[in-house]
Structure 1
Amino acid sequence: MDPLLDTAPAGFISFDDAGIIRLVNATLATLVGRPREELVGRHIDVLLSVAARIFYSTHLFPLLRLQGHAEELYVPILRADGSSLPVMVNGVSRTADDGPAYDLVLMPMRERNRLEDDLIAARNAAQAAAAAKDRFLSIVSHELRSPLTGVAGFAELLLRARAGPLTERQRGYVERIREAAFYQVGLIEDILEFAAIDGERRGMAPIAVAVEEVVARAEALLAVRAAEDGHTIERSPKPAPGAVIADARGVQQILLNIGVNAIKYSPAGTAISFQVERVSGRVRFSIRDRGPGIPPEQIERIFEPFVRLDGIGGDGRRHGVGLGLAISRDLARAMGGELRVESVLGHGATFFLELPAA
């Protein structure tokens, strides 16, 4: 036997038309735990279980005789100790000096089976994790968000003096309760949004949306927040032309997220720039602040979940768990767009949202 064939990393066996083994390489002898002398001259059944013998008679051998080849057939062969060894069989027929002959290459399947088992285990673990996440979201939604919304609502009723007038001290306490409840509800909403960001669960429906419609609505909401800190919103052009293929609610949420960040990180009294332009078949929204800017090494990090750049700007009013930008970028990409940022440290930052033009 050729030395290369004898030591190949796969088993090799050759048998005649009667099923009598004529040749076995050292690799196969090692795999089954038998000396080759014990195999040569015996029927191939010596390597097959009862079920494998039936498969050999009804599938493998007929394929070799009728088609001249057999490819990637799974066959368990017997080891000397009676255990089963799964192998992948490829075979061809040929004409030898004394008649038809059949050559098989047998590749052990132990590693493949182990990998398949690992994949099945990983799939089961992923399904269990998804079920656990759904249970968690249900608990967060119903057991935490609902009571907090109730607390905020009752605090609002107290502030409206529905239960009688409040002293200034009492009003201050109730306002703190209301703001704390709204803050916690906001955090929970962010977590729920991030966990269910895919379009199907959010009910996202990209359609042609007028740019002015979403921009004007976002500007109106941002203007209220900006006025609290003495900021102004400078938007151009007015009205914003054109339309985008997007989900109106998703676009507005992104603009509000990056707009609120611009307000948070800008010095009091400065202007927030809000612009819209059409660039190469896409509509680009940009919001620029006059804040401290973003360090170059943090440019991409800020889009990762739960990342906050504490300590730059120092206005003492930044809240959240670092999900706003992660949610915004995922929303942009779900609509076929992109969200990115450009910044020079010490000179503010500009966030760009690009979406397909209608």
Structure 2
Amino acid sequence: MISRAQLGRLVGVSALGVLTFLICWGAIHFFRGTAAVAAVWPANALVLAFILRACPTRVCERMAVGVASVAMVGANLAAGRPLGLSLAFPAANVIEILIAVHFLRGVSMPLAALKDLRGFFLGAVLAGPLASATVATAVMALGLDLSGAALLAEAGGWFLADAMGMAIVAPFALSISSRSTWPVWRGMAAPAAAGLIFFALSFQSQAPALLLAFPLVTLAVLYDRDRGGALAIGLVAMGLIGSALMGEGSLPRLARYGVDPVVWAQIFLGCLVATAYPLAMMLKRLDAIAADAEAKRVAAQAETDAKVRLIGEVGEELRSPLSGVVTLAEMLRSGRLGDLNPRQRELLSRIAESGAEIEALSREMIAGGPRGASRQAHDVGRVLAEAIGATAFAARRRGIIVEQRLEPGHLTALDRPRVARLIEEALIAATEAATVGGRLRVSLTGDGVNVRILIEDDGADDRVLRLTAEQTSKLDATPTSGRAFDKAWLRKRGGDLRTGVSDLGGVLSEIVLPVTKAERAA
């Protein structure tokens, strides 16, 4: 019982024999000499493609070669050749095909690796045609009684035809036998368009249409790295031969000038091969490099995102307990939980400041950015003016007059959103503490090293009494409860946050920011 796969293989081998017979019979019947040898290229391509794609086993390979040999011998006999030549010339072709199959069995398209190039050039272009030409030379010397210069000329023509032919048909066969990820109709789109355009342009005589084959084949390679070049060259060759058979195109015109059109066509197609396959190989290498770089970029981005998420989670976990530690230290230091001696107050102050600094770091970790990520200089006066505008409605509602004395042109590189938040919080606190219908004084000054923002209110309350009891004329250098985090952040960066008694009778808040290096140098 024959299986479906075996039946399909038998049908394929039978079709191979019929097509090989027709191609070889046409080549021998319509052409002579080198032209007949060159016209056998399609048969070689057909047999190579069938063996490389449809013959995974040695048995199938021998069957295909046997059927192709019988078809070639039958074509020679049908064309009127003697029995000896009908057996010998197909033997030369079969030897060439077997050598090409041996070298190309592990080669993939496009010829992207050194081993692929070595198998292609040494096997298909050199070893196979050389062996075929050697057999053919012996046949011509014995069967056709050729010798001397005539024999060398025929042998050289045979080798050149076979070498150029295999340089064209071997990649074409590999391309046909390779399995592309694209559908057949899509993979053939660009090569078919190139072949049809070239065939149509061959009928005009105003310009050499052969030159247009190079950009057409290049476009096919760009469209499909794997099979575009080989298929386009094959279809361009078919268009060239088809137009020549119809008496149009470059080949008939070259023949009128005494140029051998067969040799010229081989050289032309060889130039196309030398253009298309290196281009496909380079593009394939670039694709591999680009894919590798993209994979590394994606992996690095994923690793970075994972680190940022981890840092943010750690920062979130640290922030809550540190807030409790700092608040408790502030309460102990202020004496609310009992009297402490100066040494204990100093140690608690250090605990509060250190905890505030760690909390500031955790806040940056939650934001997902490195320390000091925002280093772009910005105008402090503009930030202060925006903060005053944001709190102006609350001041007008309470009838508070805001006095402003702002020096322009002071720049700082500290994080702008955080500086804006500090200023707005100080303004809101001063607005709420000021008396109804009272005054609020805002000033901005700089000394070339620091820029100072002073926010004063006239609201005399228990805050002023506490500040006066601790320190009357000086600004308080110790952070008050609720502002330790911001004070530690500013001190770490060369600034400060201080609280004292205002000349207006209320509380004074001073925000000290370091200026940029350029302003400091000036």
Q: If the length of structure 2 is used for normalisation, what is the TM-score?
A: 0.32
Q: Higher strand fraction: Structure 1 or Structure 2?
A: 1
Q: Which has the higher contact order (CA 8 A, sep 6+)?
A: 1
- Higher-Rg structure is 2
